Amino acid sequence: MFRQIKSAIIWAYIWRFRKLLFKLAIIALLIFIIQYFYADVVEYLRYSHRENKIFEALLLKWGAIVALLVIAIYFIAQALKKEPAKIMQKDKKVTIPKKLSKKEIRQRAQEIIESKSRDSREILRRIDAYTL
């Protein structure tokens, strides 16, 4: 049972970050392609006796890889950036204010308690009417 739960959690995270994982896979593929081209260019430069250009090719390769890594870090930061808390209430989104005073918190709590007690009284009244 634990394996099923672990698998479900892993697949939930994969589904949640699927766009990010796809972008990171593309970036990894691009890094492998850059490495392949670099090896081909170095081989060509050695055969054509231009070994002094290998350093420039190396700088170009690492510049491209560092740029791709910076893009990957940007994508990860955007995916993990926290959004404001939202509550769904009867098909409308309500954002929760950041700071409330103690008085406002007490008022909201009292309103919630009163609405819940009204709802429970109404339910009990309906149950009593149904049983009679």
Instruction: Provide CB contacts within 8 A for 24, sequence distance 6+.
Output: 72, 75, 76
CA 38, distance to chain mean position in Å, is 33
User: How far apart are alpha carbons 35 and 54 in whole angstroms?
Assistant: 14
Using CA atoms, how far residue 96 sits from 68, 84, 85, 91, in Å, is 37, 8, 6, 16
Identity at 43, one-letter amino acid code: E
Identity at 78, one-letter amino acid code: Q
In this prediction the pTM is: 0.51
pLDDT of 97 strictly over 80:
no
pLDDT for the residue 30: 92
Instruction: For residue 99, give the 3-state DSSP assignment.
Output: coil
Tens of pLDDT along 114-129? 887 777 777 777 777 7
Mean pLDDT, to the nearest integer, of 14-22?
83
pLDDT for the residue 33: 92
